[in-house]
Amino acid sequence: MRILIAEDDYASRLFLQKFLVNYAECDTAIDGFEALDAFLAALKSNKPYDLLCLDVMMPKFDGLKVLKAIRDIETERKTDPEKRVRVIITTALDKSLINHHSVDNLYETYLSKPIDTEKLKSIIQTMGLV
């Protein structure tokens, strides 16, 4: 399994990486542009990500724009819905603020910060990723 962690906060990024490396190969991105570049590079190398942990509030290109761009790319490529990258939104924002941006059906689940590792572990197990 391959995971991309898109998180601008160093401590949060490191925390997620240290936890998730026990389950998969992890790459990181510090802003939305890096996340989108990493996603595209993974597709090009025929090693797509299975999971994207995506922070909403990132500089330059926020997580919700990244999410929409990724889903547009998958639609253009006619990616089988079962094979599209699974997305966990990670943010300190209230879930209602995220859904206000019309992305509710674009991600699998939402995790509030600070991240509860037991909840994260349960989510990735429920997704069948471990």
For the chain, 130 residues long, give each residue's pLDDT as a single digit of tens.
999 999 999 999 999 999 999 999 999 999 999 999 999 999 999 999 999 999 988 888 889 899 999 999 999 999 999 999 999 999 876 665 555 455 557 888 888 888 999 999 999 999 888 7
Whole-model pTM: value is 0.91
CB atoms within 10 A of CB 82: 5
Domain ranges within the chain, ordered by starting residue: 2-125
CATH architecture, range 2-125 = 3-Layer(aba) Sandwich (3.40)
Phi, psi (deg, nearest 5) at residue 108: -85, -40
Strand order of the sheet with strand 51-55? 25-29, 2-6, 51-55, 86-91, 109-112
Per the omega criterion (within 30 degrees of 0), is the bond before 59 cis? no
